[in-house]
């Protein structure tokens, strides 16, 4: 809004997609509680540091701080699903042509709807994400794509 009295500042962009993005969702289970808890901890540290003459909260942007604090999932036309947190990016699902139209969180599960009519559910350990250790596991899928064999069994054949 060039004619607005509100100032906007471009902070950055999240990369990883080459097709149109259809949906973006923050992980939001108890998000307000966690944010307030984090804010209280920061304020305690700020008071301690202010006593020493150091202000760690100088020029902080609340919204930017919020964006960096909680995991964000996004999906695109190609079927790609990416999870972002702070400076990390984890591809949950690669491009396969089955457009991912919608996603939502339910506790520690990421539920994704596709143009094929399929719904995939991924169980995601949010605590590990908050501790900078992103890991995901496919919890449910209604299509079995292939069968795999262990390398040990294959070498005996």
Model confidence, pTM: 0.59
Domain-wise residue ranges, the chain: 21-142
Q: Phi then psi for 13, rounded to 5 degrees?
A: -140, 155
**Helices (runs of H) and strands (runs of E) counted in the chain:** 4, 8
Confidence (pLDDT) at 41: 60
Q: How far, in Å, are 37, 77, 152 from residue 30 at the CA level?
A: 11, 30, 45
Residue 155 scores a pLDDT above 60: no
Which region among 40-44, 69-73, 136-140, 151-155 has the lowest average model confidence (pLDDT)?
151-155
Q: Does the CA dihedral 95-77-72-63 come out positive or negative?
A: positive
**146 — pLDDT class (breaks 50, 70, 90):** very low
Interval 14-28: pLDDT, tens: 888 999 999 999 887
């Amino acid at each position: 809004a060039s004619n607005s009295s509100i100032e906007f500042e471009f902070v950055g962009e999240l990369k990883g997609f080459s097709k149109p993005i259809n949906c973006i969702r923050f992980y939001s289970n108890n998000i307000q509680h966690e944010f307030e808890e984090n804010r209280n901890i920061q304020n305690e540290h700020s008071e301690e540091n202010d006593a020493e003459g150091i202000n760690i909260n100088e020029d902080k942007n609340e919204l930017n701080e919020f964006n960096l604090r909680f995991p964000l999932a996004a999906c695109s036309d190609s079927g790609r699903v990416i999870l972002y947190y702070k400076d990390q990016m984890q591809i949950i699902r690669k491009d396969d042509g089955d457009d991912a139209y919608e996603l939502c969180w339910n506790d520690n599960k990421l539920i994704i709807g596709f143009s094929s009519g399929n719904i995939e559910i991924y169980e995601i350990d949010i605590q590990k994400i908050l501790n900078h250790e992103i890991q995901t596991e496919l919890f449910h899928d209604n299509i079995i794509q292939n069968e795999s064999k262990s390398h040990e069994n294959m070498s005996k054949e």
